[in-house]
């Protein structure tokens, strides 16, 4: 069975063109979302994924209708593949039920992994260069030494509750405990 998924980013946009194309391709069930692709919660997609059974195929009008990013797209297709469910994108003519479609998708996956590795390497090199120049990473400290000492004195005196100390200093409980650990 072919199951369609259509998505538009805003409520003002119309799904009808995508739905028409999905029906033409043979989809008997179609699930939709009117939500930004950047949102991780897409109820229509979740319903479609829950509806699909082994041997079915998920069909989208275009790749960007399914995935928020190449990484997300690959995760969804991998999930489908593990469940023995095919995937087709009408505009890009990708069909993972064919050898050629699988090849194209594996190339996408390799490119995504390559990109992640490049980002990781550049990040490590940037941090090493910053350390070599004497810079330390992480967030700047919220309190100066005078306020740290005040917080420690208030805490050690046991005359104030933790919430009172936090209010006096202007910090959260977790921040207070982090400074007390040091």
For residues 22 and 48, give the distance between their C-alpha atoms in angstroms, rounded to a whole number: 14
Look at residue 37 in the predicted model and tell me its pLDDT. 60
Q: What's the pLDDT tens digit per position in 71-96? A: 788 888 889 989 999 999 998 888 98
Q: Cα 96 vs. chain centroid, distance in angstroms?
A: 23
Is 9 catalytic? The answer is yes
Bridge partner list, 19: none
Residue of 108, 3, 9 lying closest to 47 (CA atoms): 3
pTM of the predicted protein model: 0.61
Look at residue 24 in the predicted model and tell me its pLDDT. 95
* Candidate list 9, 57, 89, 163, residue with the active-site label: 9
Ranges of residues in the chain with a pLDDT under 70 are 37-40
């Amino acid at each position: 069975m072919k199951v369609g998924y259509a998505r538009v980013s805003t409520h003002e946009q119309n799904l009808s063109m995508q739905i028409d194309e999905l029906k033409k391709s043979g989809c008997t069930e179609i699930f939709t979302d009117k939500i930004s692709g950047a949102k991780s919660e897409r109820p229509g997609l979740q319903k479609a994924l829950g509806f699909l059974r082994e041997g079915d195929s998920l069909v989208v009008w275009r790749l960007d209708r399914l995935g928020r990013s190449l990484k997300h797209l690959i995760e969804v297709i991998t999930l489908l593949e593990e469940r023995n469910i095919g995937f087709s994108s009408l505009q890009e003519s990708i069909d993972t039920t064919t050898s050629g479609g699988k090849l194209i998708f594996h190339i996408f996956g390799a490119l995504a992994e390559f990109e992640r590795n490049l980002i990781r390497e550049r990040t490590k090199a940037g941090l090493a260069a910053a350390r070599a120049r004497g810079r330390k990473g992480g967030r700047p400290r919220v309190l100066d030494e005078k306020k740290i000492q005040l917080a420690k004195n208030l805490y050690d005196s046991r005359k104030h509750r933790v919430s009172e100390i936090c209010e006096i200093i202007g910090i959260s409980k977790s921040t207070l405990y982090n400074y007390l650990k040091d």
